[in-house]
């Protein structure tokens, strides 16, 4: 579990993270969304104790990260796949981490196989592609099978198969009771992976909730054999009606049940009736536009 | 990548506490020796002194009165190389960004610096002692009859530790490999020799190389130890202060 309260970071007079609070529960995958410079990475680095906060606290399993007895065994992190010594082999890199964590050396081969780097494990990291470095970083984060995972832009450099694999990995981790915080610019990737979204813009959390509620209906799209008659009936019922695309109608603030009831009462033949759902990109840009 | 993402949820036995200090020192030694640059530096430091000894003695027509001076002077060449080993152990991690992994695994930065300092000191002493022993061997072959300079070998080992520690401290303070290497070598090979020309008394009193030689010869013991201790302490304190303040970006 991660509990962040009033986390703030200022550089000089510039506030890059402003009073950010959230709690991540076990069994969930949370997406951390925001444009470049919104404060995602700085927030994650403060959670991991790499950047000292100006104010606020970040607790992992009830303690600040630096106060955990063996922090890498509690929070598996992937913050920067390039932050490795290029002159070491992938296997040596993982063995050093395994020894620091106190996990058996055999686990190194397990995670190398898991991320499909077994054959490349003996090569120096400078020869790895971005996607391979990303998978090596994921392998390092998984070495101790920590209950909490925090990945910053993990899909960078991964091919479509790799992205799909990572999505399964994170969902599977949450299904086993783990907690996952995942930041990404790949909105589609987040949409299909997370249970909950934290949207950050200008250093502040601008939206926090389940994906379904953030993408949820803010009206109903309806079409009928006689659109004009249906429009008059809906207006007479006190609903706000506007022309929609494809010749249908958009009824703002209504539910499908309300619109269906009006149509049934008037004997209107409906050819379409569905809740309006905003795309994640619409939500993202409307919330972070400021 | 495997389709079934995680294998059976078999618990991974991780240590419940952080690694002990001796274990962290061991890890830091392995880190230094896990790259080609680290191995090359250690090999260069170990072989430079005997090579220099061989060249110097073979080209000298006069007999040597004592082994102490040659062993210390050639050993100082190895100690100068060990400056770089110290720099790479600290500044190298900041330059490559791998310091992020180090602090994620052990967030107590003073503990990390302590482990690094002990690791480079041990490596520096061992490599410098090896270099001094090898150069003593070369001397014994080329100038048979000279008594073994055991004290000189010991002092060169101390010098190796001190120079590696100074490098580690400066590297930690600057957090930048090119800057730290330029700084330590400019100071030792540029500023101090210049000072020796214009202010020889001052240079003699602060030059760590001079302190090492005097320590081996048994003269000015207290001042020599003080000079080496001050160099080490200043570098390590500067490194500790800057390491604690610096954010990992």
Looking at residue B4, its pLDDT comes to 43
Which of B12, B22, B96 best probes binding to A when mutated, by most A CB atoms within 10 angstroms?
B12
- Per-position DSSP letters for A55-68, written without gaps between them: EEEEEETTEEGGGS
A175 touches chain B (CB under 8 A): no
| Neighboring chain B residues of A97 at a CB cutoff of 8 Å | 101, 105
With a cut of 60, say whether residue B2 has pLDDT above it: no
Tell me the chain A residues in contact with residue B107 when contact means C-beta distances shorter than 8 Å. Answer: 49, 65-66, 71
pLDDT band with cut points at 50, 70 and 90 for residue B220: confident
Inter-chain contact B107–A71, Cβ cutoff 8 Å?
A: yes
**pLDDT score recorded for residue B9:** 57
- Range 189-248 of A in CB contact (< 8 A) with B: none
Please check whether residue A27 is in contact with residue A177, taking contact to mean a CB–CB distance below 8 angstroms. Answer: yes
Compute the nearest-CA separation of A214 from chain B (Å). 29
The reply to whether A162 touches chain B by the CB within 8 Å rule is yes
Candidates B3, B18, B89, partner chain A, best to mutate (most A CBs within 10 A): B18
| Least confident segment among A248-262, B56-70, B125-139 | B56-70
Is the CB of A177 inside 8 Å of chain B's CB atoms?
no
For residue A191, how many C-alpha atoms fall within 13 Å in the half-sphere facing its CB? Answer: 13
Q: CA distances (Å), A134 to each of A79, A103, A163, A184, in order?
A: 10, 21, 11, 13
- Per residue in A201-235, pLDDT (tens digit) is 889 998 888 877 776 657 888 999 999 999 999 99
**Cβ contacts of B152 within 8 Å, gap of 6 or more:** B67, B68, B71, B72, B75, B132, B136, B216
How far apart are alpha carbons B154 and B204 in whole angstroms?
22
Q: Within 13 A of A46's CA, how many CA atoms are on the CB side?
A: 26
HEC assignment per residue over chain B:
CCCCCCCCCCCCCCCCCCCCHHHHHHHHHHHHCCCHHHHHHHHHHHHHHHHHHHHHHHHCCCCCCCCHHHHHHHHHHHHHHHHHHHHHHHHHHHHHCCHHHHHHHCCCHHHHHHHHHHHHHHHHHHHHHHHHHHHHHHHHHHCCCCCCCHHHHHHHHHHHHHHHHHHHHHHHHHCCHHHHHHHHHHHHHHHHHHHHHHCHHHHHHHCHHHHHHHHHHCCCHHHHHHHHHHHHHHHHHHHHHHHHHCCCC
Do the chains contact at B37 and A79, CB–CB below 8 Å? no
Which residues from A are below 8 Å from B7, CB to CB? 110, 114
pLDDT-derived band at B6, boundaries 50, 70, 90? low
| pTM across the whole model | 0.84
More confident of the two residues B180 and A275: B180
ipTM of the shown complex:
0.87
- Is residue A12 within 8 Å of residue A18, measured between CB atoms? no
Cβ of A169 within 8 Å of Cβ of B96? The answer is: no
With a CB cutoff of 8 Å and minimum separation 6, the contacts of A253 are A218, A219, A239, A240
Q: Does A104 touch chain B (CB under 8 A)?
A: yes
Which one, of B102, B210, B88, lies nearest residue B155 by Cα? B210
- Residue A71 touches chain B, beta carbons under 8 Å: yes
Residues of A in contact with B108 (CB under 8 A): 66
* Nearest chain A alpha carbon to B14: A103
Show the CA angle centred on residue A63, arms to residues A61 and A69, nearest 5°: 90
What whole-number distance in Å separates Cα of residue B93 and Cα of residue B89? 7
- Over the stretch A84-117, which tens digit does the pLDDT of each residue have? 999 999 999 999 999 999 999 999 999 999 999 9
Q: Is the pLDDT of residue A54 over 70?
A: yes
**Alpha carbon distances (Å) from B37 to A93, B43, B125, B159, B160:** 15, 10, 19, 21, 18
Asked if the model's pLDDT at residue B3 lies above 70, the reply is no
Distant-in-sequence, close-in-space partners of A232: CB < 8 Å, separation ≥ 6:
none
Strands of A179-183's sheet, edge to edge? A75-78, A148-152, A179-183, A28-33, A196-201, A204-210
Q: Is A77 on the interface with B (CB under 8 A)?
A: yes
Q: What is the mean pLDDT of chain A?
A: 90
pLDDT at residue A77, as a whole number: 96
Spatial distance between the Cα atoms of B160 and B135, rounded to a whole number of angstroms: 15
Selection from A203, A196, A218 nearest residue A290 by Cα: A203
B155 φ, ψ (degrees, to nearest 5): -70, -35
CB count within 10 Å of CB B2 equals 13
Q: Residues near A276 by Cβ (< 8 Å), separated by ≥ 6?
A: A217, A218, A219, A220, A221, A250
Does B8 have pLDDT greater than 70? no
The H-assigned helical ranges of A127-276 are 130-142, 160-175, 187-191, 211-214, 227-236, 256-266
Query: What residue has token string 């952080």?
Result: B18
Phi, psi of A219 (to 5 degrees): 160, -175
Return the residue of B nearest to A161 by Cα. Answer: B1
- CB of B103 within 8 Å of a chain A CB? The answer is yes
Query: Contact B100/A79, CB-based, under 8 Å?
Result: yes
Q: For residue range A5-48, what is the model confidence (pLDDT) as tens digits?
A: 999 999 988 999 999 999 999 999 999 988 888 899 999 999 99
Are the CB atoms for A130 and A81 separated by under 8 Å?
yes
Interface A–B counts its CB contacts (< 8 A) at: 123
User: Which chain B positions have a beta carbon within 8 Å of A77's beta carbon?
Assistant: 104
From the list B5, B13, B98, the residue facing A168 with the nearest CB is: B5
Closest CA to B5 of A144, A167, A184, A159: A167
Backbone angles phi, psi at A199, to 5 degrees: -110, 125
Distances (CA, A) of B230 to A254, B234, B243: 78, 6, 19
Q: Pick from B6, B9, B247: which is nearest to A52 by CB?
A: B247
- Cβ separation B100–A50 shorter than 8 A: yes
Q: Which residues from chain B sit within 8 angstroms of residue A147, using beta carbons?
A: none
For A102, the closest of B6, B19, B35 (CB atoms) is B19
Nearest to B90 by CA among B181, B182, B187: B181
- A112-134, pLDDT tens digit by residue? 999 999 999 999 999 999 999 99
User: A70: which chain B residues are within 8 Å (Cβ-Cβ)?
Assistant: 14-18
From edge to edge, which strands make up the β-sheet containing A270-275? A240-243, A249-252, A219-224, A270-275
């Amino acid at each position: 579990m991660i509990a962040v309260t009033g986390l703030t970071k200022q550089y000089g007079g510039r506030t890059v993270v402003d009073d950010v609070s959230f709690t991540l529960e076990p069994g969930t995958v949370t997406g951390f969304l925001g444009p470049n410079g919104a404060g995602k990475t700085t927030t994650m680095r403060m959670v991991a104790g790499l950047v000292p906060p100006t104010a606020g606290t970040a607790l992992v399993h009830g303690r600040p990260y630096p106060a955990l007895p063996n922090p890498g065994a509690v929070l598996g992190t992937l913050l920067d796949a390039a932050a490795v010594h290029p002159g070491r082999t992938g296997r040596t890199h993982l063995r050093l981490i395994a020894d620091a964590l106190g996990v058996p050396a055999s686990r190194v081969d397990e995670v190398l196989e898991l991320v499909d780097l077994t054959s490349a494990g003996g090569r120096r990291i400078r020869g790895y592609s971005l996607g391979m470095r990303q998978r090596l970083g994921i392998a390092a984060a998984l070495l101790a099978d920590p209950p909490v995972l925090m990945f910053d832009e993990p899909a960078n450099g991964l091919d479509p198969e790799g992205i799909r694999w990572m999505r399964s990995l994170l969902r599977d981790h949450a299904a086993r009771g783990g907690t996952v915080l995942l930041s990404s610019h790949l909105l589609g990737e987040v949409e299909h992976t997370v249970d909950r979204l934290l949207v950050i813009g200008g250093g502040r959390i601008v939206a926090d909730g389940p994906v379904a509620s953030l993408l949820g209906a803010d009206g109903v799209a309806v079409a009928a054999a006689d659109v004009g008659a249906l429009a008059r009936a809906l207006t007479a019922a006190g609903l706000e009606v506007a022309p929609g695309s494809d010749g249908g109608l958009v009824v703002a603030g209504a539910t499908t049940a309300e619109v269906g009831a009006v149509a049934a009462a008037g004997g209107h033949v409906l050819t379409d009736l569905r809740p309006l759902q905003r795309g994640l990109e619409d939500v993202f840009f409307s919330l972070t536009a400021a | 990548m495997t389709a079934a993402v995680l294998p059976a949820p078999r618990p991974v036995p991780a240590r419940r506490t952080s690694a002990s200090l001796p274990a962290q020192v061991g890890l830091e030694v392995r880190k230094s020796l896990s790259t080609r640059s680290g191995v090359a530096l250690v090999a260069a430091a170990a072989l430079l002194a005997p090579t220099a000894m061989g060249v110097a003695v073979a080209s000298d027509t006069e007999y040597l009165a004592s082994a102490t001076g040659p062993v210390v002077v050639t050993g100082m060449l190895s100690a100068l190389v060990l400056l770089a080993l110290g720099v790479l152990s600290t500044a190298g991690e900041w330059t490559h960004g791998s310091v992020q992994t180090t602090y994620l695994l052990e967030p107590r930065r003073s503990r990390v610096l302590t482990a690094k300092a002990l690791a480079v000191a041990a490596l520096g002493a061992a490599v410098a002692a090896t270099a001094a022993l090898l150069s003593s061997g070369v001397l014994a072959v080329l100038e048979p009859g000279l008594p073994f300079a055991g004290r000189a070998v010991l002092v060169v080992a101390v010098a190796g530790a001190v120079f590696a520690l100074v490098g580690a401290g400066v590297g930690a303070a600057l957090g930048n490999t090119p800057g730290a290497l330029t700084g330590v070598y400019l100071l030792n090979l540029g500023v101090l020799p210049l000072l020796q020309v214009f202010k020889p008394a001052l240079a003699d009193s602060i030059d760590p190389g001079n302190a090492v030689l005097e320590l081996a010869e048994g003269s000015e013991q207290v001042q020599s130890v003080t000079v080496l201790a001050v160099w080490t302490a200043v570098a390590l304190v500067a490194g500790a202060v800057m390491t604690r303040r610096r954010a990992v970006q």
